[in-house]
Structures are given as C-alpha cells and as structure tokens.
Chain A
Amino acid sequence: MKPHAHKQPGMLLLAAMLALASTTTRAAPRDELLAGYAAAAKTADPAFAGFSAARGDAFHRQSFAGGKADTPACTSCHAKDPRTSGRTPAGKAIDPVALSASPGRYADPAKVEKWFKRNCKDVLGRQCTAQEKGDWLSFMISQ
C-alpha cells in the first residue's frame, strides 16, 4: 500500500500539469495570431493602441462599395448575430463566427489568413489591414 500512496500525488500532479499544458497550447494559436496582427498594426501606425472588439463589431456590419456587388458586408454571408449560422451564396450553411458558438474556430492561423484573404477581397475589394483583422477577431473571440 505504501508505494501506491506515495505514487498517487505524483500522478495527480502529472495529470494536472498535462491538463495545464494542453489548455495553454490550445489557447496559444489565437494569442499568437493577435500578437502578430498587433505587431503589424504597430508598424503601420506607431499610434496603434490595441484592438477593439467594438470596432470589430462595427466592421462586421459595415457595408463597403469596393468589393463584389452581391457581398457588400461580412454579414452578406455571416449572420448579423455572430452566434448564429450564416449562409453562402451557394446556399451552404456557415457555422457561427463567434468563438463561444464555434469553439474550434481560429485555432489554425493558416486557415484564418486564407479566409481573410478571400473574404476581404470579395467584400472590400482589397486586403484587410492588420488593425481590421485584429479588431474583427477580438470581437469574435469576445462573443
């Protein structure tokens, strides 16, 4: 019995450390993504003072004239309420963009960049700035 009693706290500690490690690795990609956008925003504008979820919210609903006529806003395909599903012009459902409603989102930086690249071009007719990406992402993570 003695060795077992000795062993258990060690195992518990190990399990706790593993759990902690896995939560930190899961949170990391989103933090890294935001940190990358923040660095780029700072380079573009030395007065950059952090991202704003409120600005991201406004950006999400704003209509632009530079992109494709049938997709003037993020909300042309994504729902106005980011916690509900959207729909593509081809009729396919899009999972909610709010992190609380789609917990798996924004964990793959390459995928995030791929969709910013495509969707910004379609909606704004240009690439989004690091500030716009960071604001939008901050809003979705807060939702």
Chain B
Amino acid sequence: MTLPYRPIALGLLAIAFSALVFQRAQAGGSHYYPPVSDPVVKEECGSCHLAFPPSMLPASSWKRMMGELTNHFGDDASVDPATAKHITNYLLSNAGDSGGRRESDKLLRGTSPSKAPLRITELARWVKEHREVPAWEWQHKEVRSKANCLACHAGAERGDYDD
C-alpha cells in the first residue's frame, strides 16, 4: 500500500501554520497587555478613559495614583474607601512589575519604579514607540488626547496594542 505522502505533508503543514497564526491571534500579537477583567475596576477606571491595563505601570505608580484621586490629572475622581481598597488590590496584584510579564518588562525598561510615574505616555519606551506619530495626528479631533489609545489601536479594549 502506498500512502499519498505529498498531500499528507502539505495538510500537516497547513494545520501547523494555522495553529501558529491562531496562537498569535489569541495572544493579541506581540503588544498584548491583559485588559481589566474586574467589573468594579472597569466601571470606576473606565468611564472617562479607557481602563488602562494595570500591567502598563509599576505597583508604585498605582499606589501613588490611588493615594491622590482627589486630584486625578486635575479631576476629583475620588471613590469610597471600600471601592478604593478593592481597586488598589487589583491594580497592585496585576502591576507591570508583579513578575513574569514580558511585555511589561519591555515597556518599563528605563523606568525607575521609585519615581512612580503617573502617565503611561511619559514612559521612555512609550515615547520611543510613538516617536513617529506626527503632532497633527495627536491634535486630530478623533484623537485629542494621548490617553485615547483606542483612536489608533482598534483592539485596545481587548488588550491588543499592535500597530
């Protein structure tokens, strides 16, 4: 009995290839930051702006931010103490320097956690990644703010920040 080796080999190759593509798609490409999954955090941190992934800043930053919510980039975003505690716990346990996060390691390279930066858009790596975006694009009426990730990264709400 002769097996049709060629078709079988081609078929296996096709399956291997699609598995690879699927895996990448599932991981959201190479710039993947898990989106906020906690409903309270999503509601409280995602009404005015995208609920930024906690893995984009070190724990020290989140601690500082939650400590000064009455002046949150000029807004009073204070919440009741129980909610604040819940949010802080979530942010700290999912922070970028909480270990084993390859993308965060890259994003936070060159950033000292002791400085506790508050703006993701001021991280050295963020600035480098966005250096080619011209000024007029930031001022575009559909963008308006560097915090508006979704204007350019269509998959941002799913954690996908590929180009």
Contact = CB atoms under 8 A, between A and B. Distances in A.
Nearest to A70: B74
B76 A91 contact: no
Interface string A65-101: 0001000000000000000000011111000000000
13 contacts: A88-B47, A89-B144, A90-B49, A90-B147, A91-B142, A91-B150, A91-B151, A92-B48, A92-B49, A92-B150, A118-B75, A118-B76, A118-B77
A88 B150 CA distance: 13
Interface bracket on B: 10 to 19
B48 A88 contact: yes
Contacts of A92: 46-50, 148, 150
B143 interface: yes
Interface centre among A68, A89, A121, A122 (most CB of B within 10 A): A89
Interface of A: 68, 88-92, 118, 121-122
B145 interface: yes
Chain A contact surface mostly: loop
B71 to A, nearest CB: 13
A122 B145 contact: no
A88 B47 CA distance: 9
A71 B148 CA distance: 18
Nearest to B144: A91
Contacts of B46: 92
A67 B14 CA distance: 62
A92 B43 CA distance: 13
B145 A90 contact: yes
B49 A88 contact: yes
Interface in B113-163: 142-145, 147-148, 150-151
A89 B141 CA distance: 11
Contacts of B148: 90-92
B76 A89 contact: no
B38 to A, nearest CB: 17
